[in-house]
Amino acid sequence: MVMGLHLLLLVFILGLGLTPPTLAQNDIRYIRFLEEHYDPKTRNGNDRYCEKMMRLRNMISPCKGTNTFIHGNKESIKAICGTENGESYNGNKRISKSAFQVTICKHRGGSPRPPCQYRATAGFRNVVVACENGLPVHLDESIFRP
């Protein structure tokens, strides 16, 4: 039994050594991207939504100036990094071919310390992301395309 646990631990450690550090780092950056910008449950965020989400996502110490929440599915967002739902934009960025429902939360001003107050703007926008290894890792902007 002890021998089996040692063997399992050895296989696990070897597996960690074989995982490329950049892949692990990109996974962390992708997870962070989702934490900051992904919310599939809401469709039309209002001011109270922004204040709640910014607090839940720990973006209020200090108050973050602007943050965009994308209300879509992960696969469609990831597809921006490929040709299925994305195309090259301004060098190394990608812009979505389709519009996503988004809520943009802007700090109303005043003190950068909590309690933070936000104004929401909801609508459909194309999003611009930076990708690494086929995953979005940074939301650059959202663009209204008529």
Sign of CA dihedral 50, 56, 62, 65: negative
Using one digit for the tens of pLDDT, what is the confidence trace for 14-34? 444 444 444 445 599 999 999
Would you call 22 helix, strand, or coil by DSSP?
Answer: helix
Please list the active-site residues.
Answer: 37, 138
Structural domains of the chain sorted by starting position, each given as residue range(s) with its CATH number in brackets: 24-144 (3.10.130.10)
Residue type, 78: K
pLDDT score for 42: 87
Mean pLDDT, range 94-101, rounded to an integer: 96
Burial degree of 54 (CB within 10 A; 0-12, 13-18, 19+): buried
CB 126 within 8 A of CB 146: no
- Rounded to an integer, the average pLDDT of 121-142 is 95
pTM higher than 0.75: yes
